[in-house]
Amino acid sequence: MSTTHDKACSGNCTHDRLLQPASTPPLPNLEQLADFERGTLSRRVYWDDLVYQQELEKIFGRCWLFLGHESQLPKPGDFLTTYMAEDHVILVRQRDGSLKAFLNTCPHRGNRISFSDFGNARSFVCNYHGWSFGIDGALKGMAGQELFDASGMKSAEHGLHPVAQVASYKGLVFGNMDPNAPPLSEYLGDFRYYLDVMLDMDGQGTEFVGGPVKSVIHCNWKVPTENFIGDIYHALWTHDSAARAVLGGAVAEVYKDEHSFHVNHNGHGWEFNLDTVGNCATLGDKELRKYLYGIQPTVASRLGELRSKMIGAISSCSVFPNMSFLPGQNTFRVWQPRGPGRIELHTWTLVNKSAPQDIKERWRKGAMLTFSPSGIFEMDDGENFEFSTRTNAGFLTRQQNLYMGLGLGSRLQDTELPCNVYRNQVNEANQRAFYRRWLDLMQAQSWADVPVRDPNRLDESAFHHDAPQEAA
């Protein structure tokens, strides 16, 4: 697993992308890439540049993508730079307190405007020709402006290109390039019921501590996303030795737990049990477990008893298409695509804003111990992610489909939990739901053509927790 860029690389390089076969066949009928009744998947989804280029348009060009956390931008003029797939963007707090995002490129010759990861600015100035832009993206002036004025240029038409939609959900800020995309509240929909386990434990909000830690992994962006969306199965084997070192014993045989689940909604997915602190225990810090048990009654009074048992449990989550986190370990990450065979991973530690400073620092160190480029679990995962990508490009290998049928027929029909719920967290229901959403978007010409498979059913009041909330 790579952890640093080539020093000559600008952060968006393509020289080390997965090599394509000498003769790449044309993009097939997309229906041929996945069989959801049999639970099979074409290996082509991991290595084919034709598939990847369509993903940039159909997935990343129209879905809500994570940009940052509101805690990173407390004051007007505060900004950060990040990516929406391969598009570099600036997210900036406006003077009226709102947030706007713009492509981080000058409309004159395309140079990058800001080279800083974050800061506070009254304006942004391009290094190339001195074009200056306000924090609202408007073009304010340039060197030799009278020459442009004489040429008839209309400055109002040449500001920074805005991200079409920017919206927040309980501290998390998302952007969408498609002005016709559904609002963020509809996009996340009923899945917010589960997101509140991490984002709304005590009503005081969350914040990032540390980071972002940036690393490079030579894998397809979907491999780690589908791992975090529901692959606890691998932990029983891949992470056995590291878990024994921390826990003093093997990972619990979670597949025997009758009170564990896969839940998914429009491509978002969460696998979990109800042991309260199972993930947190892998950090090896008793004070963190004590903190979670201490806050559990508050969570139960706001979110209900069931969700109070999820706050640090053995679990993992991905929000479609490329944002993931682990409750308890509190690692929060975005898998930024850099070609079919390469990602840039951005990682933070997410904590309750109200937590004592000592607890926040313990979580930051725990996340570094487990899920960072030198972390005991991330080193295990990185190698698997890389070889699960590059091995699939072989000519004979890519003729063979992959199996993702674990848990077929395990959907629960008699549960009050929202979203699609499946018994046993050792399952591949969330992976199948992820690729169903992926295929729907890849085939659709616009959002109007995307099938409504998982309609939202919860009332908006379900996401305001002035009183105890249970499943609808």
Signed CA dihedral, 278, 282, 283, 286: sign only: positive
Q: Which one of the listed residues 48, 87, 196, 381 is annotated catalytic?
A: 381
Distance (Å, whole) CA 331 – CA 281 = 14
Secondary structure (3-state) at 209: strand
**15 catalytic residue (yes or no):** no
> Is 149 one of the annotated active-site residues of the chain?
no
Q: Indicate if 231 belongs to the active site.
A: yes
Spatial distance between the Cα atoms of 79 and 134, rounded to a whole number of angstroms: 12
Q: What are phi and psi of 121, to 5 degrees?
A: -140, 145
- The burial of 247, by beta-carbon neighbours within 10 Å (0-12 exposed, 13-18 middle, 19 or more buried), is given as middle
Active-site annotation holder among 69, 88, 218, 239 = 239
299 contacts: CB under 8 Å, gap ≥ 6: 197, 201, 202, 307, 308, 311
Q: Map residue 3 onto helix, strand or coil.
A: coil
Q: Is 346 a catalytic residue?
A: no
Out of 231, 257, 285, 380, the active site residue is: 231
* Kind plus residue range of the DSSP H or E element containing 147: helix 145-150
DSSP code, position 293: H
Is position 459 annotated as part of the catalytic site? no
- From 117, 129, 149, 358, the catalytic residue: 129
CA quadruple 281, 285, 290, 296: dihedral sign: negative
**Catalytic residue (choose from 6, 117, 149, 234):** 234
**Secondary structure string (H, E, C) spanning 230-291:** CEHHHHHCCCHHHHHHHHCCCCCCHHHCCCEEEEEECCEEEEEECCCCHHHHCCCCHHHHHH
Phi and psi angles of residue 333, each rounded to the nearest 5 degrees, phi first: -150, 155
**344 CB burial (10 A radius; 0-12, 13-18, 19+):** buried
Distances (CA, A) of 182 to 23, 158, 263, 339, 374: 39, 27, 22, 27, 39
By annotation, the residues acting in catalysis are 129, 231, 234, 239, 381
